[in-house]
Amino acid sequence: MATKEIIKTNSISQIRYGCSIGALYSAVAIPGVIPITHCGPGCADKQYMALAFYNGFQGGGYGGGAVPPSVNASEKEVVFGGVERLRELIAASVKIMDADLFVVLTGCIADLVGDDVPSVVSEFQRKGVNIVYAETGGFKGNNFTGHELVTKAIIDQYVGAYEGEKEQHTVNVWSLLPFQNTFWRGDLSEIKRILEGIGLKVNILFGHESEGVGEWKNIPKAQFNLVLSPWLGLETAQHLEKKYGQPFLHVPVIPIGAKETGRFLREVSDFAGLDKEKTEAFIRAEEKIYYYYLEHFADFYAEYWWGLPARFAVVGDSAYNLALTKFVVNQLGIIPARHIITENPPEEYQEAIREQYRHIAEDVSMEVDFIEDGYTVGQLLKETDFGNKPPIIFATTWDRDVAKELNGHLIEVGFPASYEVVISRSYIGYRGALTLLEKIFTTAISRSA
C-alpha cells in the first residue's frame, strides 16, 4: 500500500533495541563466555533488564544478568581515566571467575575519555589469558552494530590465523541477534536441526546448541558461511571471506513453514554440493509430518473462517518482519496492510530489504517503512486500512494500546515482549511454523468480544 509522508522527529520514544554495549549479550550467548564491561554504573544492568528480562523473560544464564564484572566508572575515571581500574578488574575476574573466554566491552565513558583498552587487554593476552576487547560505546550504534564488533573481535583476537584445509559440508551460521530476538534460542536449534538433516555439520555459534569457544576456533575450517537474515551477519561473513578465503551464502528470508523451508534447504544444499536425494528425502519426511498437522488444522480454518482476521501488520526487526510476512501471505492468504522495520538497518542494506517486500508473492507487492520512533509507529498503524475485521498485529509490548484501539489481535514477536514467557519456543522452520499457527489462532479465537 502507498505510504504517507512520514514526519521526522529528533527523538525516539519506545525504543526497540539496546545500545552498542548491549552486545555483551552476544558474548553471553556463547557457552563459557563472560563479558567484562568498562562503562558507567547501571549500563550493563539496563541492557539485562531490557534485552534479557522484559523481553520474554529469557534470563541471564551463565555469563549474563548479575554476573558480568563492571568497572562502574565514576567521576574519578572520567577525570583521570579508568585504565588502572580496568586492569584491576580484569585481574580479579580472571582469578575468581571460571570462563573459557572473557570479552571486554567499552561504554561511552571509556571511549569518550580515550582509555587505552587495547593495551590493557593485550597485557593479559600476553600472559596467556583468553580475553578480547570490543569498543562498543553507545555512539557507535545499537546492539546490532555492537554484535558485529564483538564477533569480529573474537575472530581476530581469539580465533586468529588459519591456513589449513577446509572441512567439506561444514557451515558457520550467522543469523538472529541473540536476546534481541525473543525466540533466538529455539530458532537457532531449529536451524541447526534442519541443516544437519540435509547432511551438514553446523557451527551454530550461539546458544545451548553451540560447543562454545571450541566451535568458534573451528570457524576457519568450515567450507562456507551462511548468512540467514536480511542484513545482520553480512559484515562478519565478508570479513571471514577476506581473512580465510571462505565463501558465503546470503539467504535474506528466514524460513517459516514448508514452502520457504524447503526452498531454503534446496538453496543451501546446492551451494554446499550436498547429495540432492538426501536433501529431498529429508524434506519429504518433514513435509509429511507438517502437512499431517495442517490437514487436521484445515477443519478449523475452513469452518471458522467467518471469525478470523483478514488483514495483518508487522512491526519489528527486519529478520522476523520479512519472515512472518512471507509466511502469513503465502501460507494463510491473509492480506498485508502495514510493515514497519524498527532496528534501523544500515542505509546500504535498506533498498535490498525493500526489494524483498516488492516480491513477497507472485501477485503481492508492498512497500515497507523504516521507523524507530514508537509514536510514529502508532500513528501509522492508526492510519492503516485494516478493513471491517479485527486485524492481526505482530508487534511488541509497546504496541498493546494501539492494538486495543484498533480492536486487533496482538501477537508479541519482538523486543520488548513483556507479556510473553519464552523458554525454548521457536516460530521458524517446520516445527516453529506449527507453533506460530497455534499462537496466531489461539489469540484470535480467545480474544474477548
CA distance 200 to 386: 43
Measured CA to CA, the distance from residue 283 to residue 285 in angstroms comes to 5
In a domain, 356, yes or no: yes
Specify the residue for cell string 531454503. Answer: 264
Question: DSSP letters along 234-276, please?
Answer: HHHHHHHHHHH---EEEE-S--BHHHHHHHHHHHHHHHHT--H
SS3 121: helix
Verify that 26 and 154 share a domain, yes or no. Answer: yes
The C-alpha atoms of residue 163 and residue 161 are separated, in whole angstroms, by 7
Q: Quick one: 245 and 304 in the same domain?
A: no
Same domain? 416 vs 296: yes
**Cα 57 to Cα 51: distance, rounded to the nearest angstrom:** 9
Cell representation of residue 71: 568497572
CATH value at residue 58: 3.40.50.1980
User: Residue 179's closest CA among 63, 257, 261?
Assistant: 63
243, 277, 311 — which closes off a domain? 277
Judgement on whether residues 95 and 212 belong to the same structural domain of the protein: no
Q: Is 102 helix (H, G, I), strand (E, B) or coil?
A: strand
- CA–CA dist 60, 67 (Å, integer): 8
285 inside domain: no
Of 250, 277, 304, which residue sits at a domain end? 277
- 295 plus 401 within the same structural domain: yes
Q: What is the DSSP letter of 19?
A: B
The pLDDT assigned to 5 comes to 54
Whole-number Å distance between alpha carbons of 32 and 213: 7
pLDDT at 233: 98
Q: Which grid coordinates belong to 8?
A: 521526522
Cβ atoms of 242 and 221 closer than 8 Å: no
Last residue of one domain, picked from the residues 277, 299, 324: 277
Could you give the strand order of the β-sheet that contains 33-38, starting from the edge strand earlier in sequence?
33-38, 101-106, 131-135
Q: Which residues contact 48 (CB under 8 A, 6 or more apart)?
A: 25, 60, 64, 65, 66
Structural domain includes residue 222:
yes
Considering the domain boundaries, does residue 4 fall inside one?
no
User: How far apart (Å, rounded) are the C-alpha atoms in residues 6 and 87?
Assistant: 48
CA 179, CA 324: separation in Å to the nearest integer?
19
Secondary structure, 3-state, 165-205: CCEEEEEEEECCCECCECCHHHHHHHHHHHHHHCCCEEECC
Cell numbers placing 294: 495442517
- Is residue 12 domain-resident? no
Specify whether the CB–CB gap between 247 and 224 falls below 8 A: yes
* Cis status, amide bond into 178, omega within 30 of 0: no
Which stretches of the chain score pLDDT less than 70? 1-9, 79-80, 306, 447-449
Q: Which domain holds residue 191?
A: 167-277
